């Protein structure tokens, strides 16, 4: 593979794109980075001129990354994540590089009430991965996923759920039947199940999100003309209103009800189920890991049902059957290439051991066969190149170059390093060449 082009964006430039993707404006990115808007604007314009493509566009009084901007951010961050996963420090000269013996982190947006069960089941199914869960509503989960703040999103689909603009695959996890929360003493509270038509005159308590409104409308469409009594932001508000007899509400069969609750929950007959799906980026989460995550989510649902609503767990309407609760192999962790730098890394400004630009330097030296011939290609003097190589070897703790019969060659450690990052580097180079309109080999 050819060396990385000279126009290679560095980690700080990728960080600038990440800030714009997360904050939606140069003003907010400036506040987060503690750099002036003028400085960020100049850096962005310089990067766009070098690459020959617009990376940011204005949209509804905000700024968002273009398709080229997203492609560059994804490929670049994947390469940086791969470099961060390498462990070279402390190796003796001539020894190879190896992966750190550490757990990978999967950042996933999930429904707020399901975080604990999902975390426990994922730890059982995928012992090499730690789940960092972001509890939110469906639209929030999709927004986090599209901004590359998470690697996966577990959410329920509705008519109001927009199409995902990020490259993604969607896998059905389960279809949950709908139940209804009724005040204790309601005329239907003693029924084993309820028809939606029997609740046509009751006031309804509905969630404030667009997803909740759309799903509620789809449930009632062609069946009843509902009267919305209250619109609430939180489940606790719904529970209080129903307990006080102020209305009824659509709920999950896994809604917690105790002997002191002022409401009961009952199955609704002949209404559409709520579809829960797992959305992943195939470039970040491999197909095998995606299947394992789906199995873990189904297992989490079973565990929650057994704890919260055992009657529903044993019923014929229970949506999960025959889950294979087998732990994934250790290779699953290798399929995960997190696209989002952790907040802890951001907070402390953690440096990676190897910079993206260092790959370009090593490839040029290896291709030229000597520091003398590589220096003019890199637009640097030979002594300066020698010093830079020396500092890099000192930082990494390994020898990278050695004298061979035909000149200067990469050591075995350096070659292993280049092999370890080859796939991620190839993807990054392909994006850069595509931005410049050059053919991809």
What pLDDT shows up at residue 329? 36
Residue 75: name the closest of 435, 441, 344, 365 by CA. 435
The answer to whether residues 184 and 56 belong to one domain is: no
Higher pLDDT among residues 397 and 338, named by residue: 397
The answer to whether residues 235 and 165 belong to one domain is: no
- CATH number of residue 55's parent domain: 1.10.10.10
What pLDDT shows up at residue 7? 59
The answer to whether residues 310 and 417 belong to one domain is: no
Higher pLDDT among residues 127 and 156, named by residue: 156
- How buried is 202 (Cβ within 10 angstroms: 0-12 exposed, 13-18 middle, 19+ buried)? buried
Q: For residue 344, is it within any domain?
A: no
Mean pLDDT of the chain: 79
Q: What is d(CA 165, CA 16) in angstroms, rounded to the nearest whole number?
A: 21
- CATH number of residue 115's parent domain: 3.40.190.10
What pLDDT shows up at residue 428? 82
C-alpha count within 13 angstroms, C-beta hemisphere, residue 422: 9
What pLDDT shows up at residue 63? 83
Q: What is d(CA 365, CA 336) in angstroms, rounded to the nearest whole number?
A: 31
From 117-126, 210-219, 363-372, 411-420, the region with the lowest mean pLDDT: 117-126
Residue 160: name the closest of 181, 140, 176, 131 by CA. 140
What pLDDT shows up at residue 202? 95
Among 269, 298, 326, where does a domain finish?
Answer: 269
Residue partners of 356: CB distance under 8 A and separation at least 6: 4, 8, 9, 10, 11, 76, 79, 80, 83, 428
Q: For residue 373, is it within any domain?
A: yes
Higher pLDDT among residues 401 and 166, named by residue: 401
> Which pLDDT tens digit goes with each residue over 26-82?
888 888 888 888 999 999 999 898 888 899 888 777 888 888 888 888 788 778 777
Q: What is d(CA 199, CA 115) in angstroms, rounded to the nearest whole number?
A: 32
Q: Which of 309-313, 360-364, 413-417, 433-437 has the highest mean pLDDT?
A: 309-313
> Which pLDDT tens digit goes with each residue over 382-406?
999 999 998 888 877 778 898 877 7
How many domains does the chain fold into? Answer: 3
Residue partners of 216: CB distance under 8 A and separation at least 6: 204, 206, 207, 226, 250
Cα distances from 173 to residues 31, 344, 356, in angstroms, run: 40, 31, 38
Neighbours of 131 (CB within 10 A): 20
What pLDDT shows up at residue 103? 53
Q: Which of 125-139, 262-276, 389-403, 410-424 has the highest mean pLDDT?
A: 262-276
The answer to whether residues 116 and 196 belong to one domain is: no
Higher pLDDT among residues 4 and 315, named by residue: 315
The answer to whether residues 399 and 330 belong to one domain is: no
Q: What is d(CA 40, CA 29) in angstroms, rounded to the nearest whole number?
A: 8
What pLDDT shows up at residue 174? 92
Distance spanning both ends of the chain, measured CA to CA:
8
CA angle 95, 97, 100 (to 5 degrees): 130
Q: For residue 441, is it within any domain?
A: no
Q: For residue 363, is it within any domain?
A: yes
pLDDT at 271 over 70: yes
The answer to whether residues 207 and 226 belong to one domain is: yes
What pLDDT shows up at residue 158? 65
Spatial strand order of the sheet with 194-195 comes to: 194-195, 263-269, 179-183, 249-251
Residue 396: name the closest of 359, 368, 429 by CA. 359
Q: For residue 3, is it within any domain?
A: no
Q: For residue 248, is it within any domain?
A: yes
Q: For residue 340, is it within any domain?
A: no
Helix axes 356-368, 382-396, angle to 10 degrees: 120
C-alpha count within 13 angstroms, C-beta hemisphere, residue 335: 18
- Dihedral over alpha carbons 281, 287, 292, 294 (to 10 degrees): 60
Higher pLDDT among residues 93 and 187, named by residue: 187
The answer to whether residues 43 and 75 belong to one domain is: yes
The answer to whether residues 284 and 260 belong to one domain is: no
Q: For residue 143, is it within any domain?
A: yes
Q: Give 228's pLDDT tier (boundaries 50, 70, 90).
A: very high
C-alpha count within 13 angstroms, C-beta hemisphere, residue 132: 14
Which residues span the domain enclosing 211? 179-269
What pLDDT shows up at residue 261? 92
């Amino acid at each position: 593979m050819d060396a990385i082009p000279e126009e290679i964006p560095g980690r700080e430039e990728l960080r600038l794109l990440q800030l714009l993707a997360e904050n939606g404006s140069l003003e907010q990115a400036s506040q987060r980075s503690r750099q002036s808007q003028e400085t960020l604007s100049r850096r962005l314009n310089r990067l766009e001129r070098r690459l020959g493509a617009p990376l940011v566009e204005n949209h509804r009084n905000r700024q968002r990354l273009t398709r080229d901007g997203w492609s560059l951010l994804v490929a670049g961050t994947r390469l940086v994540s791969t470099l961060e996963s390498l462990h070279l420090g402390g190796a003796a000269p001539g020894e190879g590089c190896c992966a750190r013996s550490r757990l990978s982190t999967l950042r996933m947006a999930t429904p707020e009430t399901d975080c604990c069960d999902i975390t426990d089941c994922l730890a059982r199914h995928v012992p090499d991965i730690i789940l960092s869960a972001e509890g939110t509503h469906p639209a929030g989960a999709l927004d986090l996923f599209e901004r590359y703040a998470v690697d996966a999103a577990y959410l329920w689909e509705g008519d109001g759920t927009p199409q995902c603009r990020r490259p993604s695959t969607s896998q059905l996890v389960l279809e949950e039947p709908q139940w209804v929360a009724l005040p204790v003493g309601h005329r239907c509270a003693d029924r084993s199940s309820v028809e939606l038509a029997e609740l046509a005159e009751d006031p309804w308590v509905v969630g404030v999100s667009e997803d909740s409104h759309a799903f509620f409308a789809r449930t009632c469409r062609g069946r009843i003309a509902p009267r919305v009594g209250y619109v609430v932001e939180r489940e606790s508000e719904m529970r209080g209103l129903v307990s006080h007899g102020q209305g009824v509400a659509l709920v999950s069969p896994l809604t917690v009800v105790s002997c002191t609750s002022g409401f009961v929950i009952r199955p609704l007959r002949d209404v559409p189920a709520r579809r829960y799906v797992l959305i992943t980026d195939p470039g970040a989460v491999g197909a095998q890991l995606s299947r394992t995550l789906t199995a873990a989510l189904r297992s989490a649902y079973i565990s929650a049902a057994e704890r919260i609503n055992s009657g529903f767990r044993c019923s014929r309407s229970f949506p999960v059957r025959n889950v294979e609760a087998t732990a994934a192999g250790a290779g699953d962790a290798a399929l995960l290439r997190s696209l989002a730098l952790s907040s802890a890394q951001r907070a402390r400004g953690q440096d990676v051991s190897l910079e993206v630009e260092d790959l370009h330097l090593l490839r040029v030296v290896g291709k030229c066969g000597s520091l003398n011939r590589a220096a003019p290609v890199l637009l640097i003097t030979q002594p300066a190149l020698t010093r830079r190589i020396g500092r890099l070897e000192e930082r990494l703790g390994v020898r990278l170059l050695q004298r061979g019969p035909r000149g200067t060659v990469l050591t075995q450690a350096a070659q292993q390093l280049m092999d370890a990052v080859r796939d991620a580097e190839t993807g990054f180079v392909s994006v850069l060449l595509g931005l410049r309109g050059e053919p991809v080999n």
